[in-house]
Amino acid sequence: MVLFETMRLDHGVIPRFEYHTNRLQRSSQRLGYSFSKEQWIQYVEQIKHQYSDEVYRLKVMLDENGNFTHVIKLLTEKTSFTAKLKLMNTTSPQSFIINKTSARQHLEHSHVTDLVLLYNNEGKILEFDIGNIMIEEQGHYYTPSYQNDFLLGCMRESLIKQGKLEIKDYSKDELISKLKKGDIRVYLLNSLREVADVAIYL
């Protein structure tokens, strides 16, 4: 099992790099993985210098011994996604849910839609399989509270810090009702795509 960060490399610049660094450092401490912040920064800097001409999807992986590997490819343009609701797999260990690891069984789906929007047994809306959720309602932007029940995203954290995103929980039933009435809009938040429209198939 590896830890990883998927980042937007935009003409030699990685937005929110500090957030990615902090998350990887936190997760490595939780799971007992060897991690050198200095080596991480040096590794990523080398990649940034090599790929400064376009917008790329950069995935950097960390194994338990502290070794880095990466996969990089051009980022295709995609500004809207489709999603359906799915009950979170509660058999997955919490360490898989709150850390970004290659153990992704709890996020697997059939890909009838681009994404799945996960909710728990109590009906609380949690996250998408590839990012956090942002809900627009009456001119405000909301995201669910964190109770060690989903992955804290870098884009989510940065928007909260900027005061652009407020904390508010939604139940599955409330979300469906408000979507049907057109009272809310739903967005995907992740550091790669930043903010993208999502159409929920009900």
Residue pLDDT, tens place only, 58-105: 999 999 999 999 999 999 999 999 999 999 987 888 999 999 999 887
State pTM to two decimals.
Answer: 0.94
Superfamily of domain 80-200: D-amino Acid Aminotransferase, subunit A, domain 2 (3.20.10.10)
Q: Which CATH number fits domain 3-74: 3.30.470.10, 3.10.450.40, 3.30.450.20, 3.90.650.10?
A: 3.30.470.10
Domain spans of the chain, in order of start? 3-74, 80-200
Q: What's residue 169's pLDDT? A: 99
Residue 108's pLDDT band, with cuts at 50, 70 and 90, is confident
Buried b (16+ CB within 10 A) or exposed e, 42-74: ebbeebbeebeeeebbbebbbeeeeebeeeeee
